Structure 1
């Protein structure tokens, strides 16, 4: 069973991801996901090595003065654990974007994150896998260089 502190640590990892993306700190994503398979286009596509996530983001996500002008909202998180030092979550995400003069505020994508986490011997929690599942796209023309992935 997870302690309250463990639950907060796991949930904070979800929110750190959103903060890093929305601030344009794509290199920070490579650190966050280091050593972790990240399925950016669903579980049926090859995983991106965690260390490469930042490079993929730099390649595909449009930025404006260094930021993508997005807000990644992570909601409806279900947190489960069957063993000490292991946890998994299922969350909903909604990506809002507003680019003045280009795109009014709107939803550009929504979907789900299926994540797994492990706790190291020092008690620090980290991602051990992420699967992104996009359920719906809006106008992603100001968000992505390609419409094939929502990051």
Structure 2
């Protein structure tokens, strides 16, 4: 005997991503539960991989390890900093090589909204750059990163495009 399943409530599909557990009720009518769960685990792993790249960028920049930070970009990546576009890994490496080694700098990335579609991802994140002073940490820059990333052949997520949209808090 064949059983034809129909969605219990198709209106559940309008719920935000955080409500995926509820969506299983609807999705089960079309896919086995195990397959749906495996897909969600893969997406969660991809999102965590993107988050890892975002965090690695901050830590490498704080440590002054600009060469490794540049390795987070694909060879044909595009990076926009202060309205200036740097195309390709050579221009990106030259840019970061021109920067002084940071002293008491801390990059913070937060409020990231990450969307993954197969081997491609976008992320929009707020950032804050702090500098140590005699009176404590002071914010010297804040803004928002707009990123496009893709999975490399080795499985790591790397920047295809990165745009820094921000402003300095330092008075001139």
> Residues 47, 56 of structure 1: CA spacing in aligned structure 2 closer, same or farther, 3 A cutoff?
closer
**SS of equivalent to 2:58:** helix
Distance 2:95 2:154 in 1: 30
**SS of equivalent to 1:46:** strand
**SS of equivalent to 2:46:** helix
TM-score by length of 1: 0.74
Extract unaligned runs of 5+ from structure 1. Answer: 142-151
> Residues 118, 140 of structure 1: CA spacing in aligned structure 2 closer, same or farther, 3 A cutoff?
farther
2:169 to 115, 125, 138: 138
Measured after TM superposition, the shift of residue 76 of structure 1 is 0.5
Measured after TM superposition, the shift of residue 122 of structure 1 is 4.7
| Equivalence for 1:56 | 95
Distance 1:51 1:33 in 2: 11
TM-score by length of 2: 0.66
1:119 to 143, 148, 151: 151
Aligned positions of 1:17-56 closer than 5 A:
17-35=57-75, 36-42=77-83, 45-56=84-95
4+ aligned runs moved over 6 Å, structure 1: none
Measured after TM superposition, the shift of residue 140 of structure 1 is 7.3
Q: How many residues are aligned here?
A: 131
Measured after TM superposition, the shift of residue 30 of structure 1 is 2.1
Extract unaligned runs of 5+ from structure 2. Answer: 1-38
Query: Relative contact order (C-alpha < 8 Å, sep 6+): which is higher?
Result: 1
- Compute the RMSD of aligned alpha carbons: 2.4
1:79 to 101, 114, 137: 114
Measured after TM superposition, the shift of residue 104 of structure 1 is 5.3
User: Are the equivalent residues in 2 in contact too, given 1:119–1:126 (CA < 8 A)?
Assistant: yes
